Amino acid sequence: MSINIKVMRLEQYSLIQLAEIMAKEAKGCIKLSGKQLVELFNKHGKFKDVYDFDNGGLPKLTKGQPLNTTKTNYAKDRLEKINSTSNLINLIEDIINNYSINKEQSVKSINDVINDDGYNLQDIDGMYKILGNVVVAHPIIRNDAHFQDIQNKIINALDQANLTIDIAVAWFTNEVICDKLKEKKEENVNIRIIVNNDGTNKNKGIDFSLFDTIFIRSSKGGLMHDKFCVIDNHIVINGSYNWTDSAEFKNEENINVTYNDINLSNEYSLKFKELWQQGLKKRSFRT
């Protein structure tokens, strides 16, 4: 009999930020001592660390290390070791529910870190729980190729979003898909859109003012010609298909919808962040 184990995986950058929140007093909301850090990781990571106040406090991370480690480096090392396990979920929930000075600010600080990875802390009957891209360990990766009725395949995938939808498509004029995004926005799904900076999108595109949207060109001087979407850092849509009526009704097009391939999701998420940062710099320059 197989047992489904819920796991949580954060990117390296997120782990570093989380370690800093745990190890330092972040805006007066979380303050963990070295001894508390050791107790938490022993509880949730099956470590056997000892906090020895008379001998430098925190343990050395490697044999032969001349000095005991800092709280930040200790938290980072142990977070890396429990990443992609259910222990990471239990640890974060324990910190919020039992170690927060200012719970509201604590939740905001941690959500600012984990939202980009497809997770979110929410109050469930008085206790904070992690929701979102909590997946079954060793999930079955699924790839679905589509050549017809692509509009509805995209809508079906979007309908599964709980937290985030990140879209990078050259041209977006399809109002039917836009209507689905409006529905997801009303469900408090965070939606970000990147499109090519040209007249087609500005004159014939959807009402981009409804969403957080950036218009960019390629950093090489040509088009922003990507066509992909990442949903909850868990589902990836990519292919030749622009989100336009022409693509749906006139052209030969294709998409692939991939489920549970975390490595692929992370690669596309990183690319989206790169394009987004490029667009933010342009915005800042204009202002």
pLDDT of residue 64: 61
Contact 151, 167 (CB under 8 A): no
> Is pLDDT at 2 greater than 80 in this prediction?
no
Task: Report the percentage of the chain scoring pLDDT > 90.
Answer: 54
Averaged over 210-216, what is the pLDDT? 94
Identify the DSSP state of 259.
E
127 and 51 housed in the same domain: yes
Write down how long the chain is. Answer: 287
Report, in angstroms and rounded to the nearest whole number, the Rg of the chain calculated over CA atoms. Answer: 22
Domain total of the chain:
2
| DSSP-derived secondary structure for 87-103 | HHHHHHHHHHHHSBSSH
Whole-number average pLDDT of the chain: 87
> Is pLDDT at 50 greater than 60 in this prediction?
yes
Q: What band does 52 get if pLDDT is binned at 50, 70 and 90?
A: confident
146 and 276 housed in the same domain: yes
pLDDT by residue (tens digit) across 60-104? 777 666 556 789 999 999 999 999 888 999 999 999 999 887 888
Averaged over 225-247, what is the pLDDT? 94
Contact 193, 173 (CB under 8 A): no
23 and 115 housed in the same domain: yes
Pairing of strands 6-7, 127-132: unpaired
> What share of residues in the chain are helix, strand, coil (percent, to 5)?
45, 20, 35
User: From CA 153, how far away is CA 135, in angstroms rounded?
Assistant: 22
79 and 101 housed in the same domain: yes
Best CA proximity match to 264, nearest among 226, 233, 240: 233
In a domain, 130, yes or no: yes
Domain termination residue (choose one: 80, 114, 136): 136
In a domain, 25, yes or no: yes
226 and 106 housed in the same domain: no
In a domain, 96, yes or no: yes
In a domain, 106, yes or no: yes
158 and 211 housed in the same domain: yes
In a domain, 196, yes or no: yes
Task: Report the percentage of the chain scoring pLDDT > 70.
Answer: 90
Averaged over 276-281, what is the pLDDT? 86
pLDDT of residue 66: 56
Q: DSSP 3-state assignment of 258?
A: strand
Pairing of strands 164-169, 190-196: parallel
| DSSP-derived secondary structure for 192-222 | EEEEE-SHIIIIIS--GGGSEEEEE--TTSS
127 and 150 housed in the same domain: no
16 and 115 housed in the same domain: yes
In a domain, 51, yes or no: yes
pLDDT by residue (tens digit) across 129-183? 898 765 555 567 889 999 999 999 999 999 989 889 999 999 999 999 999 999 9
> Is pLDDT at 38 greater than 50 in this prediction?
yes
pLDDT by residue (tens digit) across 95-104? 999 988 788 8
pLDDT of residue 263: 84
117 and 37 housed in the same domain: yes
CATH number reported for the structural domain that contains residue 244 in this entry: 3.30.870.10
> Burial letters for 64-73: b for 16+ Cβ neighbours within 10 Å, e otherwise?
eeeebbebbe
> Is pLDDT at 4 greater than 70 in this prediction?
no
pLDDT of residue 63: 66
**Amino acid identity at 109:** S
106 and 231 housed in the same domain: no
Q: How many CB atoms lie within 10 A of CB 226?
A: 19
Best CA proximity match to 144, nearest among 231, 242, 241, 254: 254
Contact 190, 165 (CB under 8 A): yes
In a domain, 1, yes or no: no
pLDDT of residue 234: 85
> Is pLDDT at 208 greater than 50 in this prediction?
yes
**Amino acid identity at 201:** N
> Is pLDDT at 49 greater than 70 in this prediction?
yes
Give the angle 223-225-230 at the CA atoms, nearest 5°: 140
Contact 48, 143 (CB under 8 A): no
In a domain, 57, yes or no: yes
166 and 251 housed in the same domain: yes
pLDDT of residue 283: 63
131 and 170 housed in the same domain: no
Averaged over 42-54, what is the pLDDT? 87
Domain termination residue (choose one: 136, 159, 179): 136
pLDDT of residue 3: 36
Best CA proximity match to 100, nearest among 170, 40, 171, 167: 40
Domain termination residue (choose one: 105, 136, 167): 136
pLDDT of residue 14: 92
User: From CA 35, how far away is CA 37, in angstroms rounded?
Assistant: 5
Write out the residue range of the structural domain in which residue 177 sits. 142-286
